[in-house]
Every structure is written in structure tokens, then in C-alpha cells.
Structure 1
Amino acid sequence: MCFLKLAKESNADLSANTSIIFYGTNCTTTIIFLRIAMKWPKLCQHICRMEAADPSIDGALIKKCNISCIVVLSLAAMEHVLADVSGIALAIDCQPDRNLYEAFILQSFPWIWTFFNYNPVLGFFAQVINFQCTFNWNFSDIFVICISWYLTARLQQINERVVAMKGKIVPASFWRTVREDYSKATDLVRRVDDVINCVIFISFANNLFFICLQLLHTLEPFRGYEQAAYFVFSLVFLMSRSLAVSLIAAQVHSASLEPAKSLYDVPSASYNVEVQRFLDQIHGDTVALSGLQFFKVKRGLVLTIAGTIVTYELVLMQFTGVTPTGTPPNFPQPIIPIFSTPKNKTKKIIMPILSLFVPEEYNDVKDIVSEIGKVPPNTLHEEYIAPSKKTTSPPATFQGAMKLTILIGQCFGLNPVLGICETDAGKLRFLIYSARCLYTLVSIAGQFWLFCLWVLKLIKETNVNFLANSSVVFYGTNCLTTILFLRMAMKWPQLCQHICRIEAADPNVDSSLVRKCNISCIVFVNIQCTFNWNFSDAFIICISWYLTARLQQVNERIVAMKGKIVPVSFWRTVREDYTIATDLVRKVDDVISGVIFLSYANNLYSICVQLLHTLEPFHGHEQAVYILYSLLFLLVRSTAMSLIAAQVHSASLEPAKALYDVPSTSYCIEVQRFLDQIHGDTVALTGLQFFNIKRGLILTIAGTIVTYELVLMQFTGVSPTTTVMDYTMIPVAVTPAP
């Protein structure tokens, strides 16, 4: 009926004809599930035979599937109710003289009444079909989620068996059995994918289309609060549901790679051809659900879809005539830098806050800075230091390197851990009822309150201006950053204690580490103190310095023996130390990857906003200086963070250069294992596993920024082929004398 109406009226408007996509994809989905039903008994019988030989031990599997089903369907029902309420309100406004039910049906299904006269029975039947289609649309996502939970559980069951034997000496028969079980699990993933990949494809396509459609609706004025509530809720629900489907389905691929981390730790006495075959299978085979084999569902797919949506929205802005320029934003005023205030004001403002977090022996801010980096002496182990790097200076500890950064962060409610000034990591602790944690919770509440006020203002005024609503992003991301650091504080003591044990066995000999961390913190935090925003970058930089130093320490030992004949025991020891260092990178990344993701997103957004400002006339020299300085500072800070964080990945690859030069008389299975581990394992900090921080990431971000600027030039009418106006020469507006 929708198609016949389109052919009759030849109306190419996207919004007016979305019903064709909605009912067409739902009809296709029903046909696909009919096809799945033909294969379902055979697939379930195969799975049943697997479970008879190896029962699933995940007791939470059924609960996760049921909760997923209930939550998604409940939210879908709420969305459907809001859609009907919005439709009823629109019917009342547009056709106040008609019967309410009749007006609602005529408004909801206009394509039917193009060919038929109004009939309440036919209208009721259309309502039932519409409700069924809404269910089918959501059921596809639920189906993919539940299947993904099950497949992930099968792979995790094997991973747990591998992790349980990590570092232990076990017979070859154990590895043969585990490898065969892994092969059965991956074969099951492929069998399931052959059955459901059509559903995955149409689910992703459907979600992408309707997210873009709802974004289009947000660019138009809302007709009342009912419609505003429906479109905002629908967009948030769509994005949340699509993100949940993508992340849960991507866990299948992530779980298939997990065994490699433990296989690198297999002792030399247990290493055999079965372990090698297992590693080759993990790295050589891509195990993941797919959309008709057009794409594999991995975590990186989420960013690809997000980029597609952003591109689509920019194109829609062009078509609808909406530009991101307009009313200047009401940016929050930057906080005055701590060290630029007069001394008496500094003591009055800062010292009451510092007294909550700093021990009594630190009587001034200057004392804190001078005391940072003093690390208690420790005995160095000669066998862990390259001959050219032996030193009598005390080792640089993780506690010492991060002390200044965390102390300053706690002044603003970030990472509220107790015992930061202690040299013993065992004294670190997190208490939910401490003054620091209370201060953090108050900060979160205040930031969330400001965020909610801006959201309410946005809904009330229906202002889609990009710059005028940037404060929503500012307060929202800052609130989220504080929450992430609170979550990190809960894991921080355990992480620091793990690092302390590593340092006890292998002290860090990079004497400049504490100085580099302190300088990075002072430079990036105190130049421009809208604090939380800058602190995230400083925190990542300091963590990256430390992790790079750990890897470089291993690299220096290898380079010192480059071309020399050394025993097998040396390569075994160095490989094991390298494995410990890479495992530390993964442990740290598990704790801070959320902060990294938010930091990159925030920096990219802020750079784009400041680029947008540079395309507008400046209101005087003061604004010109601020905008240009802010843009330059953002670019330098983001580039510095990316380059320093990317050093972790670069340092993890360096041993390979020396291992290629190992003399034939020294070449052994340990050297081969070392090379396989370097080339097979990606060691890098990540943004929630969506992307790895490598040097090439900078070019990717730069390309995104350039693309965005070219689109902005179109919006603002600026042409790169014409003479550029010298905005800095525009005089400040002067009020004429009376």
C-alpha cells in the first residue's frame, strides 16, 4: 500500500515514505525467520550433542538472556506508547472536529485511505499489524543478543580452562584436548552465523536507517512536548539498543582471542607443537558473527557506524538548511590557573581543599611539588639492567611517578583514593564513606545538575544550533569523566599493588620518569584549568610514560646482547619479563580505557568546535587571541597525548629488530616464541577496545578534522580559493558618543 501510494503521488520526501522501509524490512525479517525455522531443529540438535559432551557451566546465561529480553521489550513498549501519544496530540491539533479515534487512525495510516474509505475495523487491523511490526523490529536485536550471549559463554568456558593452567606445567594431551574443544566452539560460531547472518545484516541496516531518520527529525521544530519526548526517547533508545547489539555480538570475537594471552605464558617445559598450533589457529582464523559476510561484528564496527551517522547528519544539515553556526555558545568560564593567583588568594582558596587530601607534613603547595618524586631507595637487581644502563640512582616507582598527578586530581574530585602519599602501595585503599569520595559524589551531582538543566533548555526551546548547545556536551562529558575516575579509584589500589610486586622483582631504572610525569602534569593541567577536561590527558600521558619505561627496560637488555651468543636461559628470562610487561599494559588498559575513549572524543569535538569559531569574524583582538590560542593548545595537547600513548605500542615492537640479528648458534625455540608473540599480539592502550593507540591513529583523526572543516566551509560560505579575510584586524565595536 505504501509503495502504491509512492507510485501514485511520486513523493520522494524521505520522512513521508519511511513507512515503506519500516513495513518492507519487517516483512523481510519475518520471511528470514521463517527460513531460520527450517534450519533451527538441525542446529539445536548439533548444539545439544555438544552440550552432552561439554555442558555449559555459565549459571548466569539464562538470567542474562531473560533480562535482555525484558528490558528491550519494555523500552520498546514505552517507545510505542510515546509514539501513539504523540500521534494523538497531533490528531487533536490538526483535526479537532473529528472523532479522536478516527482522526488518530487517519493521521497514522494516511497511505491506506488513499485507496480505501475510512473503516474502523480496517483501522484496528492496521493498528495490530503496526504493533506486530514494532515487535519484529525489536525482536531481531533481542535474538542476536541472546545468541551472542550463548556463543560467548561457550568460548569463555574454554578460556577459563586455559587461564586456570596459566604458567603451570601440563602434558601435551591437555593442550590437544583444549585446542580441539576450541575448534568445536569456533565451528559452532560459523554454523550459527550461517543461519542468522541475514538477521544480523537487516538488524544493523534497520538500526542505522532509523537512527539517521530520528536525527533528521531532531533538526526540525518539535510540535509540542509530546512529540519532543517521543523523538528524544526514541533516538536515545535506538542508539542504546544498537550499541548493546554491537558490543554484545562483538564479545564473540573478543572471546576467541582471549586464549592467546595465557598461551604466551606457557612454561618452556610445557611448550609443544599443540600450543604452537593453538596460537596459529587463534591468529590465523577470524571468529566472529557477520552480516551476510559483508562485515564482521567487532568492536571497531561501532566507530565505523558512528562515523556514518555523523556524516549523514552533516549531509542532512545541508539539505534542511540548518547550519551549525548561529547564536554564540554560552561557554563555561575557565577556572583561573592555580599558580597564576596571588599567594594570599592561593592559600585562602586552595589550602582548605588540599587539607582534605594532603598529609599535615605538606604545609604549602610548593612543598608538595618539591616532595614529589622522592622515592625510597631500593636495591637494584643487576641481572635486570643492561650493562650500559647500570645506575646507582633510586628506582622510579609507579607511586612516585603518579603522585603529583593524582594529588592535583583529588583537589577537583578525581580518583579519590586514600594513601597516595604513602610509599607502600599496600596502604592504598578506597573508602566510599571518606571525605574525598564524598567530595567526588558532590562534584558528580553538581555536574549532572548543570547537564540536566541544559538538556531541559534544549527540549524546551527545540534549538538545534550546534554551538549554542555545546555546553550539554561540556557538562555531560565532565560528569562522565568524574564517574569514570570514581570507578577507577575502586580498582586503583589493586592495580598499584600488582605493579609494586613487579617493581620488587624488576625495579624501574628510568631516573627521568618521575620528572617527565611531573612536568607533563604541570604543563597540561596548569596552562588552562578547566580542570577535568585537561586532567584526563595529563593522566593518560603519565601512565603512558610509565608503561613505555617498563617495555624499554626489557628492550635495553635485548639490544645490549644484539649479535652476541647467549644461552637459551637468557632468552627465556627476557621473554617472560616481556610477557609480564605486556600483561601489565593490558591490566592498566582495563582500568583506564574508558578515560582514554572519552578523552579522545572530547578532544576531537572541542577541536572541531574551535575550528568552527575560526570561520566566523572575531569580535575584537581579545577573542581572536583566545580562539587561536585555544585551538593551538588543543592541537598540541591532543597530538602530544597521542604520540606519547603510541610509544607503548612502538616499544612493544622494538625487540623484534634485535631478535632478527640473533646468531644462528644462539637461535632457539625461545627466540622463535618471542618473535611469534611480538608479531601475533597487539600491545597498546585502547579506547574501550574500539581503537588501538598507534601512531597512525593521528593521521586518521587529522583526516576526520580536515573533512569536518571542509563541510564547515560549505556551511559558512568560506571558500579556500578566495582571499582569506584577516579577522584579527577587525576593530572592536565602539559605542558611538551621544
Structure 2
Amino acid sequence: RKWPALMLDWYEIECDLPEYLTQMEKGRLAYRINMVTVVAMTLSLAEHLLNILSNIHYSNYCPQTEDPIENYFILTNQHLFMIFSYSVPLAIWGKVQNILCTFIWNYMDVFVMIVSIGLAAKFRQLNDNLFKFKGMRMPEMYWSTRRKQYRNLCELCTRIDGAISLITMISFSNNLYFICVQLLRSLNKMPSLAHVAYFYFSFFFLIGRTLAVSLYSASINDESRKPLRVLRCVPKESWCTEVKRFSEDISTDLVALSGMKFFYLTRKLVLSVAGTIVTYELVLIQFHQDSKIAECVSSIRTLSSSG
């Protein structure tokens, strides 16, 4: 409900910013957003197709019934059929839920990336104008206007963060959890090449997506601090109260998206997440036991060779 009003505020703040220097720069933002969305969702679809292939392969090697379709649905919906008896409507419902969860999970990351790209682009739009007059003598009114525009962007970032911080928290928590799980599973033996292909594609896609979310989100903080480079080059004759206030605003404010205020998405977060993953993984390895996923395949091969 708050999103339309928030987008209206975004539009008003955007209209007040300095204009783009060229039409190409204006269309660059839309191009980046479209490319990120298409690439991320295409890779997500490829990952899901590989998952289907690996499950089909495994269900054929480890049949629980004579119907291969039923074997596939039982394998992919074990959480349902451990409680309920098998039925076609329930199997279809479980598969639909699986597809929806897969793309919703990826869409959360894409959504955070898109919002981050948009906010960073607005700060960059302001920075381009500031760097255009770097080292030049500018009137106090110029700095007052740019400081006001900067404050508007900071307030917009705060409001956006208040609206999506829960999504950001869930996104990073999911990614962190599944990276740890995938690293732990990498110690297990895999029954087929289909499983190997799916596992490594999924694992590297997960790491790449997590890095992309982190770096795109961190770009907001990076762009918000760039005006300091301009303010440090202001000539002595142009130094005024507005320049001083502008500099203090940038130095003291932390402009970044957050995960429910528990953490802020800056470049330092990438190293913190990496350290956390290593710590968790060392703990998990101590309690690791080899998965029995390959036992069915090996036993079936033994029976078939003896027959």
C-alpha cells in the first residue's frame, strides 16, 4: 500500500535532480535494470531445469513404484508424501509450489538489486553534476541547491529501506543459509553427472547472485560518499557554510540499505559474510556425516550386474 506513494516521492525527487548530460545516460538505467532482470531470471530457469533433470535421473535409478511420473513426484515432494498418501492433485500442487518458491526466491534478490541500481543511479546523477564543476568557484546558492538534493536522496533511501528492509533481511538470510548447505553437500558423493552439473551450476549461481546483490546494494553507499572528493577541492574563495554542512552530512551519515537495521549493505559486508560462512562451515564439518543418496544407485547397480 505504501509503495505507490513512495514511488511518487521518488519521481518528485528525481525531477528536482540535475538533468542528464546526454540521452544515452538517461536510457542506461533502464538498460541495466532490464539486463539484470533477464539474466537473473534466465539463469534461475536454467537452474530449475537442471534440477528437474537430476531428479528425473535419480527417480529412474531409485524407483519406488512402477510409474516413473509418480516416482518423480514422490521424490520432489517428499515433505508432502511423508504425511499424506500419494495423489495426482497433491503432486501437482506440490510442484507448482516448488516452481513458485524457486522464482520468488530469485525475484527477491532481483528486486533488491533493481532498487539498489535505481538509488545508486540517482546519487550518480547528482555526482556527475558536482564533478562537472570540481575545483571551480561556485556561488553559495549552487552548494545550497546540491546539498538539498543530496538530503532528499538520503531521505528517499531511508524511506525505501524502511519499505524493503524485511525483504533484504530474508534475501540475505536465505542466501547465507543455502551457501552453507551447498558447501556442506559438496562433501557428499553424487550419484550421477546430472547431479554434479546441477549442483555446481546451482552453487556458483547462488554465490554469484549473492555477490551481485551485495555489490549493487553497496554501490548506494559508495555513490553517496563520492561528493566528498569534490568538496575537498572547493577553492578557498568559494568555501562557505553550505559547503561545510554538505561535507559534514556526507561524513556523518550512513546512507545504505539495511536488513532490518541488523546490518548495512556496504562493501565491508561482503568480507563479513565470507568470514561468517567460513565460521559456520567449520562448525558444520565437525558434525558432518556422508549422505546416503548414492546407496540406492550403488545397490541397484550391484543387483543388475549380479542378475
**Are the counterparts in 1 of residues 16 and 149 from structure 2 also a CA contact under 8 Å?**
no
**Are the counterparts in 2 of residues 76 and 138 from structure 1 also a CA contact under 8 Å?**
yes
The answer on 1:236 being equivalent to 2:204 is yes
CA 96–113 in structure 1, closer or farther in 2 if over 3 Å, else same:
closer
**Are the counterparts in 1 of residues 17 and 125 from structure 2 also a CA contact under 8 Å?**
no
Radius of gyration: which is bigger? 1
**Are the counterparts in 2 of residues 56 and 153 from structure 1 also a CA contact under 8 Å?**
no
Task: Give 1:102's aligned amino acid.
Answer: E
The answer on 1:42 being equivalent to 2:5 is yes
Alignment of 1:197-346 (within 5 A): 197-320=165-288
Partner in structure 1 of residue 164 of structure 2: 196
CA 109–96 in structure 1, closer or farther in 2 if over 3 Å, else same:
closer
2:75 paired residue among 97, 107, 111: 107
Measured after TM superposition, the shift of residue 124 of structure 1 is 1.2
1:52 paired residue among 7, 15, 18: 15
Provide the aligned C-alpha RMSD in A.
Answer: 1.4
Deviations 1:573-593 (A, max 9, x none): xxxxxxxxxxxxxxxxxxxxx
The separation in 1 between residues aligned to 2:2 and 2:282, in whole angstroms, is 43
Task: Give 2:286's aligned amino acid.
Answer: Q
The answer on 1:184 being equivalent to 2:113 is no
The separation in 2 between residues aligned to 1:111 and 1:151, in whole angstroms, is 41
SS in 1 for 2:78: coil
Measured after TM superposition, the shift of residue 48 of structure 1 is 2.2
CA 55–119 in structure 1, closer or farther in 2 if over 3 Å, else same:
farther
Task: Give 2:78's aligned amino acid.
Answer: P
The separation in 2 between residues aligned to 1:87 and 1:98, in whole angstroms, is 16
Task: Give 1:238's aligned amino acid.
Answer: L
Measured after TM superposition, the shift of residue 55 of structure 1 is 7.0
Measured after TM superposition, the shift of residue 119 of structure 1 is 1.1
Structure 2: which 5+ residue stretches go unaligned? 21-25, 291-307
Deviations 1:97-153 (A, max 9, x none): 521110000111112123322112221121111101101000000000000011001
**Are the counterparts in 2 of residues 290 and 297 from structure 1 also a CA contact under 8 Å?**
yes
Task: Give 1:49's aligned amino acid.
Answer: E
Measured after TM superposition, the shift of residue 51 of structure 1 is 3.0
**Are the counterparts in 2 of residues 253 and 298 from structure 1 also a CA contact under 8 Å?**
yes
Task: Give 1:83's aligned amino acid.
Answer: N
Task: Give 2:169's aligned amino acid.
Answer: F
The separation in 2 between residues aligned to 1:74 and 1:176, in whole angstroms, is 45
Deviations 1:261-296 (A, max 9, x none): 111011111111111111111001111100001111
The separation in 2 between residues aligned to 1:55 and 1:78, in whole angstroms, is 41
Deviations 1:63-91 (A, max 9, x none): 11111001000111111111111111111
2:135 paired residue among 143, 146, 167: 167
Task: Give 1:41's aligned amino acid.
Answer: P
The separation in 1 between residues aligned to 2:19 and 2:180, in whole angstroms, is 40
Alignment of 1:554-573 (within 5 A): none
Structure 1: which 5+ residue stretches go unaligned? 1-37, 323-738
The separation in 2 between residues aligned to 1:54 and 1:158, in whole angstroms, is 7
Normalised by the length of structure 1, the TM-score is: 0.38
The answer on 1:69 being equivalent to 2:19 is no
Task: Give 1:47's aligned amino acid.
Answer: W
Measured after TM superposition, the shift of residue 50 of structure 1 is 2.0
Deviations 1:172-194 (A, max 9, x none): 11111111110111111001111
Deviations 1:363-389 (A, max 9, x none): xxxxxxxxxxxxxxxxxxxxxxxxxxx
Measured after TM superposition, the shift of residue 46 of structure 1 is 1.2
The answer on 1:89 being equivalent to 2:57 is yes
**Are the counterparts in 2 of residues 56 and 154 from structure 1 also a CA contact under 8 Å?**
no
CA 316–224 in structure 1, closer or farther in 2 if over 3 Å, else same:
same
Task: Give 2:167's aligned amino acid.
Answer: V
**Are the counterparts in 2 of residues 175 and 274 from structure 1 also a CA contact under 8 Å?**
yes
Partner in structure 2 of residue 118 of structure 1: 86
SS in 2 for 1:232: helix
Alignment of 1:266-665 (within 5 A): 266-320=234-288
Aligned residues: 285
**Are the counterparts in 1 of residues 73 and 91 from structure 2 also a CA contact under 8 Å?**
yes
SS in 2 for 1:265: coil
User: Structure 1: which 4+ aligned runs deviate by more than 6 Å?
Assistant: none
The separation in 1 between residues aligned to 2:73 and 2:215, in whole angstroms, is 38
Measured after TM superposition, the shift of residue 170 of structure 1 is 1.0
2:125 paired residue among 136, 140, 157: 157
The separation in 1 between residues aligned to 2:27 and 2:238, in whole angstroms, is 32
Task: Give 1:244's aligned amino acid.
Answer: A
Structure (1 or 2) with the greater helix fraction: 2
SS in 2 for 1:170: coil
